Amino acid sequence: MEDEFAFISKITPDQTHQSSLVYGIGDDAAVYRGSSNMDEVVCVDTMVEGIHFRRDTLTPFQIGKKGLTINVSDLAAMGAIPFYYLVSVAVPPSWTEEELTEIYKGMDELAKQYNMDLIGGDTVSIDESLVLTVTVIGRVEQGKALYRSVAKAGDQVFVTGYVGKSAAGLDLLFEKGLNGEFNEKEQFLVNAHQVPIPHIAEGRILADSNKRISLNDVSDGVASEANELAKASDAKFVIEAVELPIHESMRSYSRDKQLKWALFGGEDFVLIGTVPKEHVNEIADEFQKKDLLFKVIGFVEEGPASVYLKESDQFKRLEKHGYNHFQKRG
């Protein structure tokens, strides 16, 4: 990069959205005003070129948009509203300033949808791979944040969207490349991988419901996220294979592939959680009013922290990244 100052001024937003912002980019640190009735929610994620993203499956614009989406999705999984983000980039010589600017355009496109402001960051050089670190700041009404640890036997397990489509799209991108020809169904899957949508509206419905809800976002696949919920709640989860919402764009693939993508693929960024059985209908109604998907996929039982997949009458232990031994229940 030729001139860091010129770059920073290029990516500094010329308008901001949040009234609580006092001072954004341009000083040693940003200043924003806190709120008396909201809790602050903050998280950070790092994406490394070649490990978390590849230039042969995502454009620079998509890398930026997805980098912010991943973080906004974590806010969604807490039931929070996004407000601000900060971006640290380590830039290798193989990236041009234009490509770097595209990353910021991608982030900005998502940020606009939520009135999020870019309020700071850091720019450094690195030898080989680009490293993009995004921090997001959100808020949730006091006492309404949704945690992983509150699931109990008798709860229903739900997801807020189709699962497996991002992994299916990634397989298509590996097969045909970034500029490959995709039919309509394939393009839907490719888009699911390249430009996933964070489930903020879904998280807000759940936070507003005031129910005992455990929640996580699906970044690593249903099996992995369900295991995190089961572990945090010390409960046994049963996922019913036939209940997993598989999008019709995936119907032409074998059932094995569909399940593998849905359970172990990841990056769908839908939400997975639990809710007491008696509140399922009420919550499903709220989702329906907003035309959003809410699908029960299983239930929670007494038992050691674990996840099982029920298919016909068979139970398989689901580990984070694969099936374990078959077992008959008894």
> What backbone torsions phi and psi does residue 281 show, to the nearest 5 degrees?
-65, -40
Site stretch for Mg ion (CB under 5 A), options 57-65, 122-130, 246-254, 283-291: 122-130
Helix (H, G, I), strand (E, B) or coil at 132: strand
- Min dist. Cβ of residue 37 to ligand ADP (A): 28
- Min dist. Cβ of residue 25 to ligand ADP (A): 4
Report what 322 binds from ligand ADP, Mg ion, none; CB cut-off 5-8 Å by kind.
none
Which CB sits closer to Mg ion, 122 or 282? 122
Contact flag: residue 122 with Mg ion (CB under 5 A): yes
Report what 270 binds from Mg ion, ligand ADP, none; CB cut-off 5-8 Å by kind.
none
From residue 16, give the alpha-carbon distance in Å to each of 41, 84, 106: 20, 10, 17
- Min dist. Cβ of residue 124 to Mg ion (A): 8
Which CB sits closer to ligand ADP, 8 or 296? 8
Picking from 52, 45, 114, the residue whose alpha carbon sits closest to that of residue 83 is 114
From residue 214, give the alpha-carbon distance in Å to each of 22, 40, 243, 326: 34, 19, 19, 28
Residue closest to ligand ADP, measured at CB: 121
- Min dist. Cβ of residue 56 to ligand ADP (A): 24
Report what 72 binds from Mg ion, ligand ADP, none; CB cut-off 5-8 Å by kind.
none
Host H or E run for residue 327? strand 322-327
- Min dist. Cβ of residue 122 to Mg ion (A): 4
Site stretch for Mg ion (CB under 5 A), options 61-69, 116-124, 285-293, 304-312: 116-124
Half-sphere exposure of 235 (CA within 13 A, CB side): 25
- DSSP H helices, the chain, are 4-11, 60-76, 97-113, 165-176, 184-194, 200-208, 222-233, 255-264, 280-289
Residues that bind ligand ADP (CB under 6 A): 8, 11, 25-28, 87, 89, 118, 120-123
Report the C-alpha gap between 124 and 88 in whole angstroms: 8
Which tokens sit at 290?
């907003």
Q: How many residues bind Mg ion (CB under 5 A)?
A: 1
Binding site for Mg ion (CB under 5 A): 122
